[in-house]
Structures are given as C-alpha cells and as structure tokens.
Structure 1
Amino acid sequence: MAPKLSGAAFKKLREKKKETQESLSKTMNTWLSKPKVDLPLNHLDPDNHISLPISSKLVELEENQVEKLQTLVDYPHNIKDPKQKKNLDLEVEVQNKTSEVIFLNPATKQIDDNNDIQSLSDAISQPEPTPLISLLESPCEIKLSENFDFEDPVTWPLINDKFRTFIVEHGPKLETYKNYNFPLDETGRHFHEKWLFRTLPNGEEVRRTWLLYSKQKNVLFCFPCVIFSIENTQYFSSISLGFNNWKKLNPKISDHEKSPSHKESVFKWKEFEKRLHGGKTIDCTLQNAIKSEKEKWKAILKILFDVILFCAKNNLALRGTDERIGKPNCGIFLSTLELLSHYNPILAKHIEEVNAKNNVISYFSPQIQNEIISLLGKSTREKLLNRVKESKYYSIMFDCTPDVSHKEQMSQVLRYVYISNGTVSVEETFIDFMESHEKTGEGLSLEIIEKLNKDDLKLSNCRGQSYDNAANMSGKYKGVKTRIMQINNLAVYVPCNAHSLNLVGNDAAKVCVRMITFFDTVQQIFNFFSSSTSRWTTLMKCINISLKCTSATRWSAKQDSVSALKRNLKNVYNVLKEMSENPKLPKEVILGATNLLKHLDFNFFCLLDLWNEILTTINRVNLALQKKSLTIDSATKMVKGLILSVQTMRNEGIEKTIEFGKVIANDLGIKANFSDKRKRKVKKLDFEIIEDNVQVLSQQNEFKKDIFEVYDRILTELSNRFENMSEINENFGFLYGSSLTDHSMDYIQKCAADLSLKYETDLNSSDFISEIKDFKSQAFSLLPDLRAATPLALLQLITTYSLRAEYPNVEIALRIFLTLPITVATCERSFSKLKLIKNYLRSTMGQDRISDMAILSIEHTVVNTLDINKLIEDFAGKKARKIAI
C-alpha cells in the first residue's frame, strides 16, 4: 500500500495540475481567437484567399473530433442537478456562450490545417473542460436594455461583431420628429428637425439617413461612423460625447458629411449591408443558419401571437394549473397550441422536442406570454396615442370603479377627431386602467396630470373634460374639473349627460310618497319570485319575458323593470292570486302573495302605464347619448326633443292613463276607481274655530297633482342639468349648416369674433371672420343641402376638397367643437371588460397585464391594423441569436 502523500507532495501535484490547465487554455485560445487586425474592405469577399477561422474550418473536422468537441461544449448540460432540467424559456448562460465561438473575429494568420487540427485533437483529449468554459465566458452576447432604441446610440450595448450585424440588418429607424419639442440648451438654442434633411440645389429635400438624434442626451450621432469608424474621436462618432453645439450646426454637419472618414464609414456600411443581405459575408454559413432559425421562430411566434390575440380579444384566461403542454388543465393557451399542432408540422415538431427534452427553449412559459401581451399592448397604446398627437386637440374622460380584489381602477379614455384617408371620424379611445389611491379632487387631479405626462400628452392641448357627477370629480370649488381648468381654462367641462339623465329619472321617482311606494312595489314583486326557484319556475311558465330588478345607478334598469311588469301584468296577478289561495304552500308565501295583491290596485295600474311612457321616452334618448360618435349639436337636439315630449305628455293630461287603469282593473275584477281615504277627524277644543266646509281634494285630483309634480320635476331637472351643454352649443352654433343658411353674415361674424376671444391661442380673430364669409359661399356651391349639414359634415367637406389651407381657422374651430365630450359611457363600457378580464379566478392579475389585456380586447379594431409580422420580425431577430446553433 502506497504511503500517504505529504503536504509538500500535494502542493507540487496541485501546481503541476495548474500548469497543465494553463497550457491547455493557451492552446485553445491560440487556436480559436486570433489577434484582431485591420483588414481591407474586401476581406468579406468569399473569393479572397484569406484564411478562415474555426467557423469555416469546423466542417473539415473528422467526425469523431467533432463529437468530442460537441461533448466538451455540452459539458454544462450534462450536470444532473434537477433544477437545471426545468423547462424554461430563459436561455441558459452557457448556451449563449457556446454560440459565441462562432462570432469570433476572423484572423489574417494562415492556419496550418494538419497542425491546428492535431492541436485541437490533443486539446480535446485532455480530461479537464474547465479552460474551455472559461474561454467561452466572453462578453460578446447581445444584451438589449428595456429602453433600447434603434435611433438612439446612447441606449446601444457595446459594439461588437454581433451587434454590428444586428444593427445594420435592422436599422437605423428614421424618425421625422414632427411636432416634437426639442429641449433648450444653456444658451437657449435647440435642435430643429430641418437638419435631418439635406436641401439639394434644385430645392428638393432628402433625408440624411446617417444622422441620428438622441432624445436621452439631446445630441446628434453619425450612424455609420459610430458603427464602423476605427477611431471614435469625432463628436459625431463618439457614443460618450455626441454633437450638441447647435450654434455651429451649419458648418459642422456639412463638413462632417464631406469628410473622408465619414465617406469611408458610409462605404463600409453600404458594402456590408449589401453583402449581408446577399449572403456573401465571411460568415454566410452562420447567417444562413441564423436565418433558418429565425424563420422557424417566426412561424412559431406567429402562432403564439395569434393565440394570445384570440384569448385577449375574447377575454379568456391563458394559463391553467399545469404549465406542461398536453397535460390536463394546462390552460386555454397551451390547449389551443396543442390543437393547432395537429395541422401545423413545424409547431408539432417543436412541441415534440419540448416534451422530449427538458432544456429545449419553448417560448410557452408564462414569462413569454406576458412579454408578448406587453409588446402587443404597448404597440396598440403607442399607435392610439400617436393618433391623438397627430390630431393635437383631445378631451379627457376618467371614471373609477372597484375591481374584484377591492382596488380602485380608474379608466382613461381620450376623445379626438381622427382624419385618415380623407375620412373624418370622432373617436373615443380607451388607453389604460390605472390603480387610484386618492379620493379627493386634488389627489385625483394629480394622478390624471401625471398620467397625461407619462403618455407625452400636453395638457395645453386638452379642450374638454367629462366625468360623472360625483363631488370630487365635478365639484365647483375643489373638484377635478376645477383644478384642471385652473391649469388650462380651455379644458371645458361637460358633465356626463347619461349620468345626468339617469339622475333626472331617479329624482322624479322620489318626488312624492305615491311614487316611492310604486317603485318599491315593483321591486317587491321581483324579490318575491326571484328569491325562490320554485316560485320563479311557476311564474316563467305563464310569462314570456322575465321580470327585471330596479336599480338606482344602473342606466335603463327602471324602464326595463316597469316595461316587463306591464307586459305581463295580468299573468303576474293571476299567479299571485293562485299562491295566496293555495293552502299547500308555506304561510310565508301565502302572506307575501296576499300582501302584494293589496298593492296591485287601480292606482298601481295607472302609475304603471304613466311611468312606462315616461321612462321609455327617457331611455330612448339615454341610449342615443351613449354613442361614441355623437356630437354636442346632436345631443342638444335630442335633449330639446325630450323636453318637448315631456311637455306634450303633461299637456295631454292623465285621461289616457286612467283609461288604461280601468281596462286592466275590469279584466281582473278590481274596482276601477281611486279608493277613498278616511277623513281625519281633529278634536275640537273650546277656544278653536274649525270650519266644516274646508274643501278637500278628491283622490283623482290628488293623483293628478302628484303626476303633474313628476312632470314638473323632470322638466326642471332637464333644464338645469343640461344648461352647460346648451351654452357650449350656442357658442359654436353658428357653425351649423342651418345657421349659415338662416342667419345674417353680421351675426355669424359676431359669433366668430366672440369664439376667437375665448380660443385666442387657437384662432386668429381677423382671419376667422374673413374666412367664415368665404366659407359660407363655398359651402353653398359644394353641398346640395347646406341647411341639413352638421359640423361633422362641414369638416368632412373641408377634408374631401382639401380646403384646410384656405380655411384653417374654420377647420380648427370645427375640430375643437367635435372634440368636446358628451358622456363617459366609454369608461363605463370598459368596466364591463374589466369584470370579464379580472374575475374572481384571476383576482391576482398584475396592473400592467390588466391594462394590456383590456386594450387588446376593447380596441381590437386597432389591434387588427398592427403590423404583426414586423413585431414578430424584431422579436425573432433578438431571440434567434440567443439560441445555440
């Protein structure tokens, strides 16, 4: 038995092993990565006889050597740790590093095939793989930050061969910076977008494709010089510096454009771009492999995007209790992918690989799902916000509601005039759900302003605001609308007309005891049948339309309940009568039915007909006011028509109502008259004088008095609550076709002058007065029926015939008027989507995911216009290089 080694012997053994490892590391490093030298531009030509690095020589290795090399490369994946076997979509670091071997810079030193391959074979035969792992840990992978911008070099990572290929293939993305406010420097100067274009001798302008502007640092960069310049000493080519001396832009841009170094960088850029797209670079084999891999992922990602959009548009949950595809309860997303794989070979093969190996990248994980949802939601939101910015003027609508997890969700909706392809439309666009932590007008207004700043929307361009009638939103002194108007007095407040009209009906229903009792009886009838399944089944056998519940907040609820009861009144009465006479039923049911029958008298029948007519008339206007495209002129006409209808019903009296009550009472065998109340007797004292001939109103006159009180309350509330909208309508009323036709030009020009004073930052008074006169004549000749033309039709006329340059102030005034809101019904509709998306099974959903899922569901028409292929192209381009090829 050999003696145990001493400490000195162990030390010598460790030193010898260390020397062996260092030798192996140097050998591999010499063979794989040659020192970088400057090459002529034609070094990318495959026809040049320049020695190739390992990426081209690897195919010449013998089969057994390749297997040994692959075994050594795959060493980290052979670890038996179960945590490393988990199927994740996040790439393993060693996988990334493995692919870096292919991206090493080409060398100019001639390679001796036999010697180098023999050295490689010797290196592979060494038992320790540690030096290779150390060698592969090179900082060459593309790691793009969250704020990465193709046009902003400040956000770019370290420029290496991989990133150079990536940025040349995808960029630069050129923006025009139209309507962008460039920040001022210390001298009060700023960059102007005109420098992005070069004016030719003939006056034409061409885009300087090489010039990039950094929003983060407020400086300029030269794209080809940053990417290809050998010495980044000039301001235009240095990422750390950039150029921001705006005073000397005139000579500096031209001088740099004509400099030899710039021309050389441009030549390298275009030559490399040409060879890259033509597949003639020295790593064309690698590029083809990446292209093939990218096409594969594009096909898979196209399916993933479509499935996620399908789930989002239909408010479906994506995940189940099991994250493994093909397993029970794996969720709608994975189940749909499994179904589609039956008809898609690429997807089927990918799923097979995922199930066969634990370390295969699948892109099925919840992280990737959230990433795609976020990408789609962000793209949709950016597109909508860009539309708003192009329109310039907009109105804000905010409303709050608690969600299933007891968080206050504030819905943000913007209204604006959208002009596309010669078509004018009024849009109300959902933007976001934001969690609100405030209840006061001050706190809510700060949250709203902060959100508008985050969306890069100028509050100075806001021309309208609309909220519900809550005091913290619509308060005269401390409400949100008052605080917003203190910052921008042109943000005209329009209370939600749908909420206002709902309050008109609710207030009229509480005008007297008779009306309160009537609606309470309607609710009791619904409660009596709906609280028992057997009673509800008995009732449904006799009626065609089910009874509805009344509500103080839900629009149209009272009309639905009264209308349903009126249409089934006889059947409901007969069912109650049968229950009250059936001794087999519980006594609670018999007593309840008997008590309800006492309330179903002649008085109730008359009120049922009266309120059905009133609520039907109000509800018809209420539904029309909730349309997105409705404008103030149309809403004002509807309210005026409603006032006229109520006034007509009041003047006609109650004869028709009483006649309906008599018909129903006779059919049911009930007295067709108002029951007399017992006259109250007052005790007469010795010193009091009581006249016995005091006139007392009859029950019919009492009924008529209460009815007139209802009509008067409705008319009064309509006049008061819609006064603000009527005032706004009068300010812009001269822009109607009927006003242009009927009123004199002096009156129209006076109205134009008054409007110019209010909107002095938007309208030029003298020009506006002059334009409106010519526009009237122009409209007469272009429109066959000017009298019937609405402001929207007049704006469409200006757009169709390209008259914006001739009548700019008229066009601006029409856009401002059409931008003003009518209701917050769009916010209310978004709450319905919120309840479908965040239900009790999905109550822990994060705020960002809620907003993204909601915007994909609500604005699905805009989602359909997204360039999904472009999103997939960028997504696949980034992911392809993270996969070991």
Structure 2
Amino acid sequence: MDRRTFFKSKTSCFTDLNNNTSNSSLQSGENVEELPTDCTAVGPGSSSQGREDNSGNVTNKRGTPVDLGTKDTGPSQPCLPEYPKTLFSKQNRSFSSEYYKTYKFIEYSKEGDAVFCFPCRLFQCSSSAAYRDPAFVINGVRDWKKILAKLQKHADGAPHRQCTEQWHCFEQTKATGSVATLLSESHKTTVQANREYAETIVDILLNLGKQGLSLRGHDEGETSENRGNFLELCNWYARHDRAFSARLNAPFNLTSPDTQNKFLEIAAHLVKDKIIHSIEENGFFAVLVDEARSFKEEQMAVCVRYTEKLEIKEPFLGFVDCSERVDAIGIYGYIKHFLGACGIYSLPTVGQSYDGAAVMSGHVNEVQQKLRQDHPCAVYIHCMAHKLNLVLVDACKVNRTANTFFHIIESLYAFFSQPGTHHAYQKHQKELGVKAELTALSNTRWACRWKNIAAVKSSMRALLSTLSEFAVLPFRRFVEASGLLSNLKKTAFCVCLVVFYHVLSMIHVAHKALQKKDTTLSQASSVMELTIKSLESMRTSDKWEELWMEIEAFCNSLDIQVNEDEREHTHKRPMKRTVALDSCVVTSSVGQREYQSNTTQSVKEKWAQRLYFPVLDTLLGECQSRFSTQTMEIARSVDAVLKCDPEGAQCLLNEYATALSINPKLAYTKMNLVKMNSQHTSSDFVKEALSTGFNPNFEKLFKLALTLPVGTATCERSFSAMRRVRNWMRSTMCQERLSSLSLLHIESDITAALNIEDIISAYHAKSKRRMLLH
C-alpha cells in the first residue's frame, strides 16, 4: 500500500468515529445551533500504543488519544516536570511547555507523546477538504527536532485559520448564546425596560388621581414653565433616573392625553370590578342616589351598600350625567342603565335611599316606585340626615327671633370675610388668646350650624372689640359695623346664642352619627330616639333655669344688660289679645302675634315663652311626625335581628324571606341558639357566632340587617370630591375622565392596592402598541 492510500483509509476511519462522537454529544443535550453549519465536529476517541513512521508521526489503530481536550474543556495543555525524550540522530529531544505560549491552539497527549491542533481536530471545515496532511488532526506530531517549523507552517495555512475562526465563533456563541437566544434575551430585556418605564408612568398617574390633583396643565409645550402636575413630576423623576429620562425624551413615551385616559379608565375599571365582585359574593345590595350641579351639568352620584365579611361597605361607583332628562322616567332610566352596565341590576336590591325630593320619593309613579316594580323588596328609606335638616329648618324658621338671629350670624361672616376686617379680627383674637374662625352658613346642612354658633360664642369679646373699632369714621363700612355691634349687644342675640348652642349641640352629635358609613338602621333609630328624649328633658322649667343662669353670666361677662328689648315690640296700636290662647304657646305668627306683652311676667319668663319653649315644641313635633313612619318599624326589626330576638325579626322576614330564599324556621332556630349562649347579645357577638358556625339562613338575615341603608351621606361626600376633581380650572373635563378620576380619588384605599402590572397588561391587550410591553 502506498503512502497516499494509507492516509486516505486512516482519515475515513476516524471521520466515521468522530461523527459517532458528534451524534452522542447531540443526544446528551448539546445545542446544535452553537456549531457552525459548515463544520464537522471531531471528538476524542480511545487510544493504544502508537508507532512511529518514517516522518516521525504517531499513528493509532483505534483513534486519537483519550486525554485530549473537548469542546467544553478546551485544549489539553498539561505542564509536566519532564516530558518523554526521543532519540533523534545522536541527541534526545522532547516536547516543551514553552510551545503553549507561542502556539495557543496546540494540545499535548501524554499517552501518545504527540502534539495535536485543537481547532483543526474539532472544527475541521468542509471548505478545507483539500487538507492533505492529517498529522495535527489524527495522528499527532512528535518530531521534536523540526516541531517549531511544522507548527509555524501549520499555523500559516488557510485551513488552520478557518478552523481557528470557527473555534473563536464557537467560544463566543457559548458565552453569549445562539442568534435565536440573543434575540430572545434582547426581547426580554427590552420588554422589561419598557414595563419598568410604564410602571413609573402609571404610578405617577395613580398617585395624582388618588390625591384628586389635576394632571394636565394649561400649556404643556416644551417652552412652558409649568406643563402640569403629571409632566412636571415625570421631568422631576427623569432628573434622578437616566434610563427613565432617555425613554421620556423618546417620540413615544406614554404621556399623551389619550394614553393617560386609557390608563385611568383601566385603573378605574379594576377598582369597580373589585367592588362588583364583593357585591356578587354578598348576593344583594342597596342603592344610594343623589344629584348635584357641576357647572352646566347635573351629575348623579351612584353608590351601593353591602357587606363584606359581615362588615358594612358603602363604596362609590361613578357619576352619571343626567342633564338631558331629570324627571322620574329619565332618572330611573339612568339608574337602570348604569347598574346594568356594572352587571348588578339583576341581583336583588333590598333597599333604596334618596333625599326627600318629590321626583325621587313619590309613591305613585316616581323613581322609588319604578324601581320597586322590578325589585319589589327594595324598600325606600328617606335619608335620615336630610330628615333631621328638615326638622331644624322648620323649627328655626317658624320663630321670628330665631330667624333674625341666623341672619345676624350670616351677616357677621359676610362682614369679617373681607381681608381688612378679618385681619383686625384675628389680631384681637390673638390678644385674647382665642382662635375660632367664622364660616359660611349652609342652606342644606343646618346641623353644621352648631360650629358657627360655637365660633361666635367663644370669640364674642373679640367680635365686639373689632366692631367697636370699625363702628366709627373714617371706616367706610362704619354703618354696617354699628348695626352689627348694636345687634350683638342685645339680649335677644345672647339668649339665642346660648339656647341654640345647647340645642344644636345635641343635633350635631346625632347628625354625625347618621352620616357614618357603618351606621345601621337600628343604630340610627336609637340615635333619634335618644335625641328626642334629650329634647324632652330640656323642655322643663329646671333646665330653663340653668340656661337662664348661664345667659345672665354670659351677658355679665360682656357687660351687656339683660332686658326684654321692649323697643322691638312697641307698636302704634295696642295688640289684641285672644283669651283662648292664654294657656297655649303660639308657634306661628299667622293670625296672631308671636309675642304677647304681659307686664306681670319677668324677663326670664318672657324669653321662655318667646323663644325657648316654641323652638323645643317645634323640634319635638317635627321629629315625632317625620321619624314615626314605616322606616322606624323596619329599624326596630333590624335591631331585633342584630340582638337575636326572633319575635322582633318578623317584619324583615315577611318582607324579604321569599326574595332572598330565607327559611324563617331555620333562621329562628339559629337565633335562639345564639341567644342561649349569651344573655347580652350584641352585633359583635353575633358576628363571632356566625364565623364559628355557618348557617346560610341566619347569615342572610344578618347581612340584610346590615345592608339596609340609612341615608345618602356617601353621595354627599362624593360631591365634595367631585368639586375637588372638577374645579373651575378643569371645567372642560369629559364625563369618562371625571368618573374615572373621582372613583380613584374616593376609593383611594382600593386604588392604593392595585397591581400596576395588571394595568399595563390590560393596556397592552387592548391593541398593538408601538412600545413592546409583552
């Protein structure tokens, strides 16, 4: 066999062996994409004792030595203290580890005592098929006399350079990954950076919405000094984060008004979904509705009442523009459509609460009656806070002295609301060590007038000092100041001030209790019963004696003489007295005088007959007439359920047992069991009993007692939030943005718990985005 045929057969044999090794590496999970497409990987095989031919090369019968390197380990370059020596002519020669420094591609086999080329052995390319010398690939070289020359010649060859380039590509691919892997990692990195930027944008939006602050500015151009809260906060954050700054200055940066609206709409939708989910778990709810004017629109606030884990919830759902039609049919249509869009109109509605307007409360064909046609068990409850206001309005306006007194209080606020007079008033307050601010009177919240009266009573000396200072020339409003000073020094004003301070203090406490979200109908009924009893206890001569002593002490402290102010009641003609009314207290001036002069009465008795007893009689009469309707009967039944009294719960069961699928007998049984465990049952004790022993019938009944509404105070609070969100500088805000911002602001606790990633995912899912977010 000639030399050419010998090397050809050897090359074919080891190529087959190396192909098998490559297949085994694929089976072990090695990534095929990491190998060059035009290369054939050659793996190490087993070896035996080699033999030296005429050229000094080492040949192996069963393949290359096993101690050579692999693709994962790299070239095998052992550094031995002494390498085996071979006799060349008359001199022993051996391999040297210094060759590694010059030729980094070589590897040494201790078994074969030979040198191999690592890249040519494992990364032999198909383009080097004309490679004729297999010495550095298969057989190895051990000609230590001419090794340097052979290494240099091999390194300068084109096939070796191609294999070396493939080796470097393989190492780079192993370090950074394949092209597909690089693209995938690049996509993940881009998405992660985009989502982090979007999370910051959404977080700024949510915080502004939660605080009820404006987002947009009047001029949001690049040259504007104030671009609005949202863009200014983004620019402030960009000064502290370079990555955020780079994306904020990009063409598409998620700060456009349309993008803001989409993010706000998604966030508000998530808040509403959480509320609706709680309503569905409860199984039924009560609806609360009220209306208010917002610039040129009539906005209707829709709130609901339900229980969550036996705790009362009264969340706000949204505003509805009802300007187009405000009659019963229109308002009912708006309510039905809004609740239907929320997906809860089909659920049982157990109660409805509005103010006392005829279009809402009428029992013939108005809103509450139309809702009962679809939900027969939706009992209408007139807002108890509104009822209390009506009681006070009737009590104070029926008496001329009381009416005059509140006009003076309002005139005081108007006078001292001017900067000059207010500054002087504060100066006198500081000298006296008093701090009380006069506020405007509310035409709808009469119970809040106690704060005005308390402020006037505590700062009376400062008011007199300030008015005395301004009641002389050259002050331009000295006539007004003189009139107010004269009225404040009258006995009538001092008597009204002390009387209404005590009367309205009790009303104020009751009003606060009726406005709480967690107040039950039974608690509201108890509050009103206690208020009525307190008013009855005040209508005694002994109580009037105590008040009169306080009035005299108050007047003496201000150097005001107590008299009956006869000049207010002098008439040109003598007043005609009716004998039939001598034993009565006249509460109306229609047909008779409010005050009949009697020279035998003392000043104290005249003021009692003129002011104190008429006001109390009117209050008691109005309370008994307005709070003795069907609402109070339901309230007593609610109280019975909360106290586990089966006999008193019959009213609720008769009304709701069929609609809510409550078995009365099973509910009675559970109530008796709970009552037997404790002689003094309370709502907290019943909640604990329900948590330990599940009873669906009594649990529904207990939830019903908590769900029945008390009033529309939550709607009133939403109007206060609406005026903060939609002020005179934001009057052009669209309805969707108003409702979304108001919901995020009012339900700020739910807004704070939102997952920002859910908002971004929902934003991305709506349509394709120019910014990669998924």
Structure 1 length as normaliser, TM-score? 0.61
Whether the aligned pair in 1 keeps the contact of 2:204 and 2:233 (CA below 8 Å) is yes
State the Cα deviation string for residues 853-872 of structure 1 (Å, max 9, x = none): 11111111112222222332
1:308 alignment partner, one of 201, 205, 217 = 205
State the Cα deviation string for residues 785-814 of structure 1 (Å, max 9, x = none): 552412x6423431x21x22xx22111111
Distance 1:657 1:456, change over 3 A: same
Question: Unaligned 5+ residue runs, structure 2?
Answer: 1-28, 38-126, 128-175, 430-434, 577-595
**Aligned pair 1:417/2:304, yes or no?**
no
The residue aligned with 1:725 is 631
Distance 1:292 1:660, change over 3 A: same
The residue aligned with 1:607 is 496
The residue aligned with 2:641 is 735
Distance 1:878 1:377, change over 3 A: closer
The residue aligned with 2:297 is 407
Any residues of structure 2 matched to 1:118-517 within 5 Å, and which? 285-323=182-220, 328-352=225-249, 354=250, 360-404=251-295, 406-419=296-309, 424-436=310-322, 437-517=324-404
The residue aligned with 1:712 is 617
DSSP 3-state at the match of 1:364: coil
The residue aligned with 2:668 is 772
- Shift in Å at residue 752 of structure 1? 4.9
Distance 1:281 1:649, change over 3 A: farther
- Shift in Å at residue 489 of structure 1? 1.8
The residue aligned with 1:631 is 520
- Shift in Å at residue 734 of structure 1? 2.7
DSSP 3-state at the match of 2:316: strand
Distance 1:52 1:759, change over 3 A: farther
State the Cα deviation string for residues 66-101 of structure 1 (Å, max 9, x = none): xxxxxxxxxxxxxxxxxxxxxxxxxxxxxxxxxxxx
The residue aligned with 1:844 is 732
DSSP 3-state at the match of 1:464: strand
Q: Please tell me the residue identity of whatever aligns with 2:686.
A: L
Whichever of the two has the greater Rg, that structure is 2
Whether the aligned pair in 2 keeps the contact of 1:294 and 1:877 (CA below 8 Å) is no
DSSP 3-state at the match of 1:318: coil
Whether the aligned pair in 2 keeps the contact of 1:445 and 1:480 (CA below 8 Å) is yes
**Aligned pair 1:674/2:570, yes or no?**
no
**Aligned pair 1:828/2:750, yes or no?**
no
Q: Please tell me the residue identity of whatever aligns with 1:717.
A: E
The separation in 2 between residues aligned to 1:602 and 1:417, in whole angstroms, is 52
The residue aligned with 1:863 is 751
The separation in 2 between residues aligned to 1:379 and 1:527, in whole angstroms, is 46
Whether the aligned pair in 1 keeps the contact of 2:312 and 2:517 (CA below 8 Å) is yes
The separation in 2 between residues aligned to 1:281 and 1:822, in whole angstroms, is 68
Distance 1:755 1:550, change over 3 A: closer
The residue aligned with 1:794 is 686
Distance 1:507 1:697, change over 3 A: farther
Distance 1:622 1:533, change over 3 A: same
The residue aligned with 1:533 is 419
1:579 alignment partner, one of 466, 470, 476 = 470
**Aligned pair 1:854/2:751, yes or no?**
no
The separation in 2 between residues aligned to 1:321 and 1:412, in whole angstroms, is 31
The separation in 1 between residues aligned to 2:484 and 2:226, in whole angstroms, is 51
The separation in 1 between residues aligned to 2:279 and 2:203, in whole angstroms, is 27
Distance 1:379 1:537, change over 3 A: same
The separation in 2 between residues aligned to 1:736 and 1:657, in whole angstroms, is 39
Distance 1:878 1:499, change over 3 A: closer
Distance 1:697 1:872, change over 3 A: farther
**Aligned pair 1:663/2:553, yes or no?**
yes
Whether the aligned pair in 2 keeps the contact of 1:771 and 1:809 (CA below 8 Å) is yes
Q: Please tell me the residue identity of whatever aligns with 1:703.
A: W
The separation in 1 between residues aligned to 2:723 and 2:273, in whole angstroms, is 25
DSSP 3-state at the match of 1:585: coil
- Shift in Å at residue 370 of structure 1? 1.4
DSSP 3-state at the match of 1:732: helix
My pick for the range that moved more, 543-552 or 611-620, is 543-552
State the Cα deviation string for residues 450-493 of structure 1 (Å, max 9, x = none): 11111111355110111111111112323311221232220011
State the Cα deviation string for residues 318-373 of structure 1 (Å, max 9, x = none): 22245456963222212212222233232123235x2xxxxx32222222111111
- Shift in Å at residue 694 of structure 1? 11
The residue aligned with 1:570 is 461
The separation in 2 between residues aligned to 1:760 and 1:713, in whole angstroms, is 40
The separation in 2 between residues aligned to 1:736 and 1:873, in whole angstroms, is 45
Distance 1:326 1:778, change over 3 A: farther
DSSP 3-state at the match of 1:412: strand
Whether the aligned pair in 1 keeps the contact of 2:348 and 2:659 (CA below 8 Å) is no
The separation in 1 between residues aligned to 2:521 and 2:425, in whole angstroms, is 45
Q: What fraction of aligned residue pairs are identical, expressed as a percent?
A: 25
Whether the aligned pair in 2 keeps the contact of 1:526 and 1:547 (CA below 8 Å) is yes
DSSP 3-state at the match of 1:401: strand
- Shift in Å at residue 735 of structure 1? 1.7
DSSP 3-state at the match of 1:494: strand
The residue aligned with 2:172 is none
DSSP 3-state at the match of 2:562: coil
Question: Unaligned 5+ residue runs, structure 1?
Answer: 1-44, 54-113, 115-278, 355-359, 685-692, 741-747
Whether the aligned pair in 2 keeps the contact of 1:297 and 1:880 (CA below 8 Å) is no
Distance 1:493 1:440, change over 3 A: same
State the Cα deviation string for residues 687-730 of structure 1 (Å, max 9, x = none): xxxxxx99777464442223212111111222222234311122
Whether the aligned pair in 2 keeps the contact of 1:459 and 1:488 (CA below 8 Å) is no
The residue aligned with 1:654 is 544
Distance 1:478 1:695, change over 3 A: same
Distance 1:502 1:46, change over 3 A: farther
1:561 alignment partner, one of 452, 455, 471 = 452
Q: RMSD between aligned alpha carbons?
A: 3.4
Whether the aligned pair in 2 keeps the contact of 1:756 and 1:763 (CA below 8 Å) is no
The separation in 2 between residues aligned to 1:683 and 1:752, in whole angstroms, is 57
- Shift in Å at residue 833 of structure 1? 1.2
Q: Please tell me the residue identity of whatever aligns with 2:704.
A: I
Whether the aligned pair in 1 keeps the contact of 2:353 and 2:711 (CA below 8 Å) is yes
The separation in 2 between residues aligned to 1:645 and 1:875, in whole angstroms, is 58
State the Cα deviation string for residues 391-429 of structure 1 (Å, max 9, x = none): 11101011111113x11111110110112xxxx311001
The separation in 2 between residues aligned to 1:648 and 1:281, in whole angstroms, is 90
Q: Please tell me the residue identity of whatever aligns with 2:755.
A: D
The separation in 2 between residues aligned to 1:331 and 1:779, in whole angstroms, is 61
Q: Please tell me the residue identity of whatever aligns with 1:661.
A: I
The residue aligned with 2:607 is 703
- Shift in Å at residue 555 of structure 1? 4.9
Q: Please tell me the residue identity of whatever aligns with 1:704.
A: A
Q: Please tell me the residue identity of whatever aligns with 2:680.
A: R
The separation in 2 between residues aligned to 1:671 and 1:609, in whole angstroms, is 15
The separation in 2 between residues aligned to 1:562 and 1:695, in whole angstroms, is 30
1:640 alignment partner, one of 521, 524, 529 = 529
Q: Please tell me the residue identity of whatever aligns with 1:816.
A: L
